Amino acid sequence: MEVGKTKSVGYQVGVRRTLPLTLEEAWEMIVSPRGINVWLGEISSYDFSVGANYSTQEGISGEIRVLNERQNVRLTWKKDQWERASTLQIRTIEQLNGKCTISFHQENLPSSKDREEMKVRWEEVLEKLMQGI
């Protein structure tokens, strides 16, 4: 079996980082227009509610599927050239030391190449979020 490939969800990748933020601060960073621009890209509408569709200027589109405040966001995430959407989940996980872990997990990726590309993307996103602290 290839690295990052499962029988049930195809290729997947996960990246996480613990930041010196409270759970509330980390959550706000994820769902604020500024934070959304960092991890999702520039979108025309910031309707961040379950069932809302989005599309970015770089050609990413999808739908918000789950939104559990201060816990997680689950959405479909599709590049124009992909045949089908992947599933992206962003979690905020409170730590005992007053810090918070932000986790990106994406599954149903089309190929190992796309998996590597998304791994780099989410690592860069976490770095940008950290710089914004």
Q: Which residues pair with 5 in a beta bridge?
A: 11
**Residues 85-106: pLDDT tens digits?**
999 999 999 998 999 999 999 9
Instruction: Say what the pLDDT of residue 14 is.
Output: 97
Q: Is 42 exposed, middle or buried (0-12, 13-18, 19+ CB in 10 A)?
A: exposed
* Tokens of residue 71, six digits: 């816990």
**Residues 58-70: pLDDT tens digits?**
999 999 999 999 9
Q: How many whole angstroms separate alpha carbon 96 and alpha carbon 118? A: 29
Instruction: Say what the pLDDT of residue 133 is.
Output: 67
DSSP at 63: E
Instruction: Say what the pLDDT of residue 21 is.
Output: 94
Q: Which ranges of the chain does DSSP label H, i.e. alpha helix?
A: 23-31, 33-39, 112-131
